[in-house]
Amino acid sequence: QVQLVESGGGLVQAGGSLRLSCAASGRTFSSYTMGWFRRTPGKEREFVAAIMRGGSLTHYADSVKGRFTISGDNAKNTVYLQMNNLKPEDTAVYSCAAQRRGSIYYPALYDYWGQGTELTVSS
């Protein structure tokens, strides 16, 4: 069983930065693909970023490319999402997730989820 705990959400002004953390139990980071997703009320959960193969490969949604960076610390078994130049449309509940295999873009293919952390970006 894998447990994921997110932290780091909050309120930030547009143009600001914030870093989210996802602490995982077990040897998750090196064994799983780790993804960040976000959801706003009335919308489907949206893929944000993923990190694979212990950090050697990353993917980003077009909407965050160039602004967000996903990284991981194998020793701490923690995945981070550094978010820069934040926009009001980034406001959402952000969740991290872990999967053994499958497409990284589809939430249904992830096996474990954290409880989420809320980000609000004010204009």
Q: What is the DSSP string of 61-111?
A: -TTTTTTEEEEEETTTTEEEEEE-S--GGG-EEEEEEEESSS-TT-GGG-S
Quick: pLDDT tens for 71-89.
999 889 999 999 999 999 9
Q: What is the pLDDT of residue 55?
A: 80
Q: Which two tokens stand for residue 83?
A: 């978010």
Q: What is the pLDDT of residue 27?
A: 66
Q: What is the pLDDT of residue 47?
A: 98
Quick: pLDDT tens for 15-30.
999 999 999 987 666 7
Q: What is the pLDDT of residue 54?
A: 76
Quick: pLDDT tens for 53-77.
778 899 999 999 999 999 999 889 9
Q: What is the pLDDT of residue 75?
A: 87
**Contact yes or no for 86/74 (Cβ under 8 A):** no
